[in-house]
Amino acid sequence: MSKRTYAILGTGALGGFYGARLQKAGLQVHFLLKSDYQQVSQYGLVVESKDGDFSLPQVNAYNDVEKMPRCDVVVVALKTTQNHLLPQILPPVVKDDGVVLVLQNGLGVEEEVAQIVGKISVLGGLCFLCSNKVGPGHIHHLDYGQITLGEFASNYHPTGITDKMRQIADDFQSAGISMDLAEDLLLGRWKKLVWNIPYNGLSVILDATTDELMADVHTRQLVEQLMYEVAAGAKSTGRILPDSFIQTMLDYTVKMKPYRTSMKIDDDEGRPLEVEAIFGNPLRKAQAAGVNLPQISCVYQQLKFLDANKKR
Amino acid sequence: MSKRTYAILGTGALGGFYGARLQKAGLQVHFLLKSDYQQVSQYGLVVESKDGDFSLPQVNAYNDVEKMPRCDVVVVALKTTQNHLLPQILPPVVKDDGVVLVLQNGLGVEEEVAQIVGKISVLGGLCFLCSNKVGPGHIHHLDYGQITLGEFASNYHPTGITDKMRQIADDFQSAGISMDLAEDLLLGRWKKLVWNIPYNGLSVILDATTDELMADVHTRQLVEQLMYEVAAGAKSTGRILPDSFIQTMLDYTVKMKPYRTSMKIDDDEGRPLEVEAIFGNPLRKAQAAGVNLPQISCVYQQLKFLDANKKR
């Protein structure tokens, strides 16, 4: 069993789920909480899951990062809308030879984290997870869970498969979480954006589920156009997404059960939207390479308006 | 006093207002109605107006175009979403040497009408009118009312100022409606789209008034980008809209009272949206000239979805 210790920054639907699975597998895990701190420090975590329900009556819960031990692996599981907190909460909790694992949506988050932690290794994970927090310390895992893992290097140079990736993948796999290792983290992030940009954006703007967007000939076409703009953005950073990948994503979504996107759930529950990580950063990356993405830009500006003027 | 007779096809907020003003000025006017026919044939029309309230207890009301006399000027005052009716209702009511005056939003409507009426002259009017129908035969005129008038020629060739334009302008001006004569109808239509495309589209998609769109830095920028795309569309048909015109429209809208656009009113009241006339036709005109308008296309596809999937 691995001796690596884990810190989970943000014990919600995602951080709570993965952290609980790691602890259940015998790893030492430390959870940072905010609103659920009292509940979780007294009663632990409850996970209802399609893979089997379980509870952890006792967990290492903290409401202050200064009280946490330095850990080998620090998992950033906050929403990106909370990333202004990272300069304050990351440095105290990561060991000098530790790693930071960013389990967030969007693009560019590893760069931000690397600027904060200096020479410490930064890895990024793309989570394919359907999970909700249904109450304090109470997580409902609906589907999926696998993670695509890559390592960050300056300017997102591809790193290939590294030892650090293998070690973390071993820990997660011992906890029953499947991890695909990606030789090129940036390519992986663009691939995920092919899905996230059209469906997250349009689901909020048009108050629609994925099946509704795919059933209408016009939004079906707009989804595809947005996917091709994501591919143009990827290309502006030297990453090629083949047309066949886009067609696969479209077919896959048509066959999915009707799905309410994570951004739509955030919007419905009155939470801030991850507009900058998912839309703003890719736009700026492409812009910096001289590439304009007009339809993604349109959706971005609409989302910024809706995020700032919530009345629904 | 002019001897020209007028038919008003569509006696709503717009057709009812202009028709009533023409009759009040002494012209012979015949009104085609649908849902309000019983009320108006018995009690006439009532106009509450910032220019003075008036009522016309007796009007020539029809619910069947076959019962109407052929007229010198046939005013098309339906919403463009009703234009599938035109092949049936236009030919019986226009004199052989008469004219059709299209008072509708968007682009391309004169072309459709010309195909229906053959050699009969077609004019187009761009109405700057704030008016609502508040009950059967009861119109509330809130503001403005002036019309920019142009004549249609094949392929929208500019006609200059024609005699027919002067005659109609005389009639309207005798009724207190100011008419500007445009030498180039197509240029006039593109100019109006500079305002209509961003504000009508975004007001529906984002559930917003003009002041809200202008107060937010992101939608303010999106409005401006959409205006520049309209200018690109105009250019694809050989019409130049100077940048200064766009800046004037932006400044003008910032200074306007908070305004709910006509498409937003249609949407709020559950009526079909004029998406094809205002968005689809300009897109297709530009496309035919090889010019892609990606942000207008994005807004178009979103509106088509909302129009077909009303749940608000």
pLDDT at residue B1, as a whole number: 62
Residue found by looking up tokens 């297709």 in the block? B284
Asked if B304's CB is within 8 angstroms of A208's CB, the reply is: no
Contact B188, B148 (CB under 8 A): yes
Going by pLDDT thresholds of 50, 70 and 90, the confidence category of residue A264 is: very high
Q: Phi/psi of residue A232, each to 5°?
A: -65, -40
User: Closest residue of A to B217, CA-based?
Assistant: A305
**Does residue B300 surpass a pLDDT of 90?**
yes
Asked if B300's CB is within 8 angstroms of A298's CB, the reply is: no
Mean pLDDT rounded to a whole number for chain B? 96
**Does residue B177 surpass a pLDDT of 90?**
yes
Per annotation, catalytic residue among A79, A191, A192, A264: A192
Asked if A302's CB is within 8 angstroms of B205's CB, the reply is: yes
* Residue A221: other Cβ atoms inside 10 A: 13
Contact B176, B21 (CB under 8 A): yes
**Does residue B311 surpass a pLDDT of 90?**
no
Q: pLDDT tens digits, residue range A151-169?
A: 999 999 999 999 999 999 9
Q: What ipTM was predicted for this assembly?
A: 0.94
pLDDT at residue A259, as a whole number: 87
Alpha-carbon span A211 to B95, nearest angstrom: 52
Q: pLDDT tens digits, residue range A104-127?
A: 999 999 999 999 999 999 999 999
Among chain B, residues having any CB pair with chain A shorter than 8 Å are: 202, 205-208, 212-213, 216, 218-219, 221-222, 225, 294-295, 297-302, 304-306, 308-309, 311-312
Going by pLDDT thresholds of 50, 70 and 90, the confidence category of residue A26 is: very high
A137 Cβ partners below 8 Å, 6+ apart?
A11, A16, A36, A39, A40, A43, A44, A45, A46
pLDDT at residue B259, as a whole number: 87
Q: pLDDT tens digits, residue range A210-239?
A: 999 999 999 999 999 999 999 999 999 999
Going by pLDDT thresholds of 50, 70 and 90, the confidence category of residue A311 is: low
The one-letter code for the residue type at A24 is K
CATH 3.40.50.720, chain A: domain bounds: 5-183
Q: Is CATH 3.30.70.890 the right assignment for the domain spanning A5-183? A: no
What share of chain B in percent tops pLDDT 70? 99
Helix (H) or strand (E) holding A50: none
**Does residue A279 surpass a pLDDT of 70?**
yes
Nearest-CB residue to B308 (from A216, A294, A297)? A216
Q: pLDDT tens digits, residue range B190-217?
A: 999 999 999 999 999 999 999 999 999 9
Q: Kindly report the length of chain B.
A: 312
pLDDT at residue A2, as a whole number: 75
- Which CATH number is A187-308 given? 1.10.1040.10
Which tokens sit at B52?
């003075």
CATH 1.10.1040.10, chain A: domain bounds: 187-308
Asked if B311's CB is within 8 angstroms of A207's CB, the reply is: yes
Going by pLDDT thresholds of 50, 70 and 90, the confidence category of residue B257 is: confident
Q: How far is A185 from chain B (nearest CA, A)?
A: 30
Nearest-CB residue to B205 (from A205, A208, A312)? A205
**Average pLDDT of the segment spanning A176-183:** 97
- Using a CB cutoff of 8 Å and minimum separation of 24, what contacts does B155-163 make? B156/B110, B156/B111, B156/B185, B156/B186, B156/B237, B158/B183, B158/B184, B158/B185, B158/B186, B158/B187, B159/B183, B159/B184, B159/B185
* Residue B175: other Cβ atoms inside 10 A: 19
Asked if A206's CB is within 8 angstroms of B306's CB, the reply is: yes
Alpha-carbon span B211 to B120, nearest angstrom: 42
pLDDT at residue B297, as a whole number: 98
**Average pLDDT of the segment spanning B140-146:** 94
From chain B, the residues in CB contact with A300 under 8 A are 218
Mean pLDDT rounded to a whole number for chain A? 96
